[in-house]
Structure 1
């Protein structure tokens, strides 16, 4: 363990027993491109002289090329550990001997990272978070494709992908180069295709880069693909078109640098995919910035709220429910009319339920403040991402998708309702206006209040707790929206024209020209058009409310349900004339018995036809899904 040294910032290994302390003299920091770090350390011998050593730590495949002698079983050991999901770091050291201070300062990184003696492996166990499997299962079940972007070894990444069910096909193919040094490999990334091959994890299967042996389409359906950082550079340089074809089938990107994570996100966007990136470190900043939606995870935070915080939230919800209940006044007054003085125990006994909940909440907050909770500090990832989770769990990704789907569906259905209402009003208040048909002030006010209430309660819809496999349509310009609006308006238009013509037939014939500026006078045609217009506009809310599987259904959205029931009841009351005074207040005349029955039948038929047309269009064109290029990669 390294501890802070003197004011110069050097780190010192604390002494144990008679061992001399090690002072770090020179440090070459870790970089994602080199996959290693190196230091020069010195210790004082018993004779008082300073002896220097170099120590290197990094990826096993990188350190292997720097060793003077590779011990037997080196590759098998670190690969076996990586296949179990552990992070493996290799250690190497070299004796530099006694050097002058100037000689130590003149040492380059190349002088330190050669002819090393193998010093062992560091094995880091990284168990999965408690809810990771469930969250990934829900994401994949909701018609999304998930990909791993990591700087870890591809064997470790493949193990994690298998545990989380990212991969469920017959085998995983990894793009690898023939055995050669990293320097030679980096200088010949664009060499001919024969130097690279797709191999399975056991090395028993080898296919060419183009997968010509089995065919590209067959291979993408049969195998999951894993691309390392070096393989990504090779494909991007030598075969950019092949990379775009393979990209939807790649499940794992391993040993990738921060710039390569950014490149992967950019390539997905070039293929017109919508991307969500979830990361927790500085190396994820570029990818978080370029993704359509970036989510930063705080690695030092707990994966679930603390027990005290959960109790506070429960108390808050219970207190909110109590505020909706009427409170009773409690107190005693003496004979003179003055309030009697109570003791502390009497005051606590006379608290209302709401005050008791507030007192409990304050007590829980005090207990929470006394707890020594972890102080979470925001990092670079949270600065680059528009969303930051207070917990280390990835459950927040599901929350974002649920809220996004609910908002999208609500917006689309409001556009449909606005389009239908605009078409209905356009006919009833423009074309029919030329025939002298208009609404009174009371009628327009009532209509506006009902529509405003319905729009308000639609916008307050809540998402369902589970993500559905069905995906919502991405925009309003689609076959479902256009077809359902046209078919519903055709039904509404027929209803409006037919009932107006019937009302004209039984109304007294008008003589002379129509006076457009004449004051409103209630008559059969005005009342008929108002009832039809109000009924059609209310029915558009009931028919076009989507509900499940993206948000709560109409039965669960109680405010909207009650608003629609009241609106339909009002229309029936005005049509039947249950309360004559109410009808006269809104200047609706009493309809003839035969015409009243016809009016109700036509309105019922219009509602049924519009509902059937919308459900038919929804079944034919209303369900979204994964893009065709990702269907073979979905799990």
Structure 2
């Protein structure tokens, strides 16, 4: 559009040069007047006025404890529509902490009953010791620091932790052993952590080597499926998978625990992770409860109502994630949830791993024989899908043709590694979706950085990668960001249309006046620019965002058909009013034609046509700001912006006073000539009619645009 304005400016430059040359003006005057026209068409204040909406939006976000390090991203938030808001689960949708639910001991390949009070139960003391030692916690100022999950589980054991500076374990190669003391009522002795293998998202586990007076053991804990794959098959109960699935379907987070006996005196520090994490013995399963945050369901519901797709991306178990997604509304209760899965070693004729779809709750063996992935089913609006990271990896490498459609229909992605989260976000962007990612941990950093709008709920690592950081650690900030983004986007478009309308309206005025070799006086230019345009531009940008989220997003292009039809229609209406006044005043008996001189001061610019055009155009500038001051559904009504409303009323009254009452000092200051009162009332009537026509025209364009948009949406749904 700037190129279009540049073309208009070029036309004005040639027009001015020809007219003024024909009128006998000097080359210097022709050059200066032509440049004046260029600055009128492309106003220098345009970038500042378009950016003021972002400034006010950023200030409002700060008031709501949302901080932004990339202000231009605010407008991007306004473009989020049927697109994807990706949520990490733990700490984002659910509470930061987890509550211990139960422990089940595995002994001789048989799994025991639920144990709720683990600190007082003798049958689970070996598992309790594993939980109390398999972590990377440290004590600073008498407080435990480390992974919140480890802290919760450790505190449940009633064990104590302290750094061991004794020399009682000289045979063990350890830089700084950590001493773990059991409760006083326990029959177990103190033990010492001598080597740690930290948790890895990719490996889904962590391990430690522990020693006491009589033995040395390795403990390993992690996701049930991973720990089960590392254990000796004869130590895993036959019904272990069914028990894991049962807990997962109820939304519990599960941690499996295993052990391995080691030889005392071995070179511990040189022991590799691979040699420790194999041939393990399964000893227990811990179930933890992760409750939804109070606002989660409400926010997801609002996003659903606004046709904004919500997606869960988590490192948790698939069934656990699916249960939480169902609870918070990401998986809609009326729709059937299907799991997209694969089975290692089962391939088709082309050597590709076979993908299967099963309904949540169905058994694997029944489904694998009956169904394979069907693209037509994947696009069924009555279905929602979930997939695990391992299956996502299979699709990525073996079924790339399915990937684009897969990322559009799946609402739950579980057991996703950090690099897979990033890959998901990038693929959503590749299919043309505007992606917001909301997370709170280091595992989300890559995805937060890749997303169009990354929102961190943490002040730690994630906040460095994300353009937005919320001090309030729940997802209500997503609603705030989208609404403020939409308001900022609409404000920018509104400011652009107002500035374009103002500049082209003034362009028409000056073209008419150049026809008689005159122009506005300097004070007339200043009055329009400062008292009306700048004043209303900055105040209109302060209108707050609308409280609700509309079901349709604002247009993402300034050059939308509706905007251009509205803008050029307003220019035509305002232009006809100016041309009408320009011609009408020349028909009056008292009219005196303008006599150009070779001087170029304000006194030599005064003309009756210039005064009449100045009067009528004042009101059209005000009407432009009224018409283009967008309100609901993206911004609050202009009546809520008291400063803008009062300023518009005052400016309108002031302009009426200038036209109706000929107060000599003011008219002299503005460079206006005397016009009989009767004709001044005619100008006022023309301005009023122009305003009414402009407002009615704008309402008609809005109504037609809405009907066409609804028709297009219905056609797309039908397709």
Give me the TM-score of the superposition, normalised by structure 1: 0.78
SS of residue matched to 1:226 = strand
**Residue in structure 2 matched with residue 321 of structure 1 by the alignment:** none
1:561 and 1:275, CA in 2 relative to 1: closer, same or farther beyond 3 A? same
Query: Shift of residue 93 of structure 1?
Result: 1.8
State how far apart, in whole Å, the 2-side matches of 1:255 and 1:608 are.
61
**SS of alignment partner, residue 472 of structure 1:** coil
Q: 1:550 to 1:190 in 2, by over 3 A?
A: farther
| Distance change (3 Å), C-alpha of 1:231 and 1:551 | same
How many corresponding residue pairs?
535
Compared CA separation, residues 189 and 581, structure 1 to 2 (3 A)? farther
Alpha-carbon deviation of 1:141? 2.7
Matches within 5 A, 1:291-306: 291-298=451-458
Moved more, 430-439 or 474-483: 430-439
The residue number in structure 2 matching 1:197 is 356
Indicate which of 143, 159, 163 corresponds to 1:5.
163
Query: 2:530 matched to which residue of 1?
Result: 449
Match of 1:232 among 378, 386, 392: 392
For residues 226 and 350 of structure 2, the distance between their equivalents in structure 1, rounded to whole angstroms, comes to 21
Equivalent residue, structure 2, for 1:28: 197
One of 551, 561, 566 as aligned partner of 1:469: 551
- Deviation by residue 1:283-303 (Cα, 9 ceiling, x = unmatched): 1111111111211112xxxxx
Output one character per residue of 1:61-102: Cα deviation in whole Å (capped at 9) or x when no partner. 222232433214312221111111111011122333x44323
1:565 and 1:573 map into 2 onto residues whose CA distance is 12
Distance 2:594 2:218 in 1: 108
Tell which deviates more after alignment, 115-124 or 479-488: 115-124
The match for 2:149 is none
Q: Structure 1 residue 523: deviation in Å?
A: 4.8
CA distance in 1, matches of 2:225, 2:350: 21
Unaligned runs of 5+ in 2: 1-131, 134-160, 166-174
Are positions 1:101 and 2:261 aligned together?
Answer: no
Kept after mapping to 1: 8 A contact 2:498/2:628:
yes
Aligned to 2:292: 128
Change in 2 beyond 3 A, CA 1:512/1:584: closer
If asked which structure has higher relative contact order (CA below 8 Å, sep 6+), I would say: 2
Contact 2:591 2:608 in 1 (8 A): no
Q: Tell whether the 8 Å contact from 2:594 to 2:608 is kept in structure 1 after alignment.
A: no
CA contact (8 A) 1:194 1:208 kept: no
In structure 2, the CA distance between the partners of 1:457 and 1:116, relative to structure 1 (3 Å rule), is: same
- 1:127–1:624 CA distance, 2 compared to 1 (3 A): farther
Is the 8 Å Cα contact of residues 89 and 121 (structure 1) preserved in structure 2? yes
Instruction: Tell me which of 550, 556, 574 is aligned to 1:492.
Output: 574
Alignment equivalent of 2:416, drawn from 247, 256, 268 = 256
Question: Which residue is 2:694 aligned to?
Answer: 610
Q: Is the 8 A contact 2:258 2:280 kept in 1?
A: yes
Aligned-residue offset at 1:128: 1.0
Deviations 1:451-485 (A, max 9, x none): 22111211222223333333111121211211111
In the alignment, structure 1 residue 560 sits paired with structure 2 residue 641: no
Q: Please give the alpha-carbon distance, in whole angstroms, between the structure 1 residues aligned to 2:261 and 2:595.
A: 111
For the Cα contact (< 8 Å) 1:87–1:125, is it kept in 2? yes
Structure-2 separation of matches of 1:241 and 1:105? 47
CA contact (8 A) 1:4 1:10 kept: no
Write the distance in 1 (CA, Å) between the matches of 2:690 and 2:407: 50
TM-superposed CA distance for 1:612, in Å, is: 2.2
C-alpha spacing 1:116/1:628, structure 2 compared with 1 (3 Å): farther
**1:516/1:256 Cα in 2 relative to 1: closer, same or farther (>3 Å)?**
farther
Give the conservation status (yes or no) of the 8 Å contact 2:235–2:281: yes
1:385 equivalent to 2:469? Answer no
- Once structures 1 and 2 are overlaid, which stretch shifts more, 550-559 or 135-144? 135-144
- Cα distance in 1, alignment partners of residues 371 and 682 from structure 2: 75
Partner of 1:333: none
Contact residue 543 and residue 641 of structure 2 kept, 8 A: yes
**Does the CA-based 8 Å contact 2:594-2:607 persist in structure 1?**
no
Deviation of 1:414 (Å): 0.7
Q: Deviations over 1:523-573 (max 9, x none)?
A: 532221111121111111111100222222111111111111122222322
Name the CA distance, whole Å, in 1 between partners of 2:555 and 2:606. Answer: 45
Q: Displacement of 1:512 after TM fit?
A: 9.6
**Equivalent residue for 2:374?**
211
Counterparts in 2 of 1:382 and 1:585: CA distance versus 1, 3 Å: closer
List aligned pairs for 1:199-598, cutoff 5 A: 199-203=358-362, 208-211=371-374, 215-216=376-377, 219-298=379-458, 378-450=459-531, 451-506=533-588, 514-515=596-597, 517=599, 519-520=603-604, 522-577=606-661, 582-583=666-667, 586-589=670-673, 591-592=675-676, 595-598=679-682
Mapped to 1, the partners of 2:266 and 2:406 lie a distance apart of: 54
